[in-house]
Structure 1
């Protein structure tokens, strides 16, 4: 049986925290592949400025291409309208078949809001969730929150990932302020950002978000 990790996210921009999380999940859950799925129009960020989806896709592709266990999918980038996880998982079900086992990899913050996700019952039936959190985040709080979701017992797994101390928000802020982001993201990604000026240009029109 093939085990597929689905690494969904805005990746604005992708950084080492995302890559370390994906690699840790692949090792811990014996995943055959981890598919990175940059969001197109994320519904939970409809009131926020988000970098062009194809540019985020290209940056993520540069970050993941050297790992044979990682691959890319543009399923959400090409999808019209908002991107919902249930639609993405169903698309992968059609691609990988009924015998595939799916693990959706996300951050702990998202898990705390998971009951608001579209068609959550069907989504939980289709895949298990790997919730990554950084040290000091509050593991007991997370465990209690997951325990309250009795209907989804055994479908949500908590994984501590130290590199999650890196955040896309902080990287955007550093770029906005003209500070170094070296060693926070892969060199090819940094070169692309500096070459295109995508985050420097965007900073003229938006302030870095909290």
Structure 2
């Protein structure tokens, strides 16, 4: 019997993508023996208001630049094409229709657990994919339901919020983000001013 394929899904605003995202994806790929990891930038996040949210296309381009040296990583514009608020259940349904005979592993940080019950159609989402929970500082895992699997990865103390703050205060971000992403941010003048999104 043929072994079923396994694909990891890593969604987020990636505002901007940073080395912590890449380390998480690579370590999850190795631990779970995933064929590849698909990064899916959110068009508009439903669960959080993000100040200084760069345009979706800019975030997509930054992710593409960050992934280009790793053949096991891909970026998808699925949520950007759909437009509007990005709901994971819609995205995973679409991916399941594309990858019919593939096990989908939805990679999230342990901070996801505090928002878990508020996700749209979480029961349906749980039937489409297996959740992979990576421990994050300050968010203990506790006891997990059967459709969730915990993994231990090297946690880098890097956040997109912190990177945006460093840019606004004219501090260097080299080695916090991939070099191509750093150059893109500088070239486009992203995150220099805090924008209140309504």
After superposition, where does 1:187-198 map in structure 2 within 5 Å? 187-198=179-190
- TM-score (norm. length: structure 2): 0.92
- 1:119 aligned residue: 121
- In 1, Cα distance between equivalents of 2:191 and 2:27: 28
Any idea what the Cα deviations from partners look like across 1:49-77, whole Å, max 9, x if unmatched?
42100000000000011101001100001
Number of the residue aligned with 2:7: 4
Look up the match of 2:170.
178
Q: Which residue of 2 aligns with 1:26?
A: 29
Aligned to 1:166: 158
Q: Does 1:42 align with 2:48?
A: no
Structure 1 CA distance, aligned partners of 2:94 and 2:52?
A: 27
Q: 1:47 to 1:204 in 2, by over 3 A?
A: closer
**CA–CA distance in 1 between the matches of 2:122 and 2:195?**
35
In structure 1, runs of 5+ residues without a counterpart are 147-151
- Residues matched between the structures, number: 194
Indicate the SS of the match to 2:82: coil
2-side partners of 1:86 and 1:198: how far apart? 30
The 3 A distance-change label for structure 1 pair 127 and 143 is same
Q: Aligned runs of 1:102-113 on 2, under 5 Å? A: 102-113=104-115
- The DSSP-based 3-state class of the residue aligned with 1:43 is coil
Whole-Å separation in 2 of the counterparts to 1:204 and 1:19:
25
Indicate if the aligned counterparts of 1:15 and 1:184 stay in contact, CA closer than 8 A: yes
Q: Given that residues 133 and 164 in structure 1 are in contact (C-alpha distance below 8 angstroms), is that contact kept between their aligned partners in structure 2?
A: no
> 1:170: Cα distance to partner?
0.5
Correspondence 1:51 to 2:31: no
Structure 1: distance between partners of 2:131 and 2:70:
22
Q: In the TM superposition, what is the alpha-carbon distance from 1:157 to its structure 2 partner?
A: 1.7
For the 8 Å contact 1:9–1:106, the answer to whether it is kept is: no
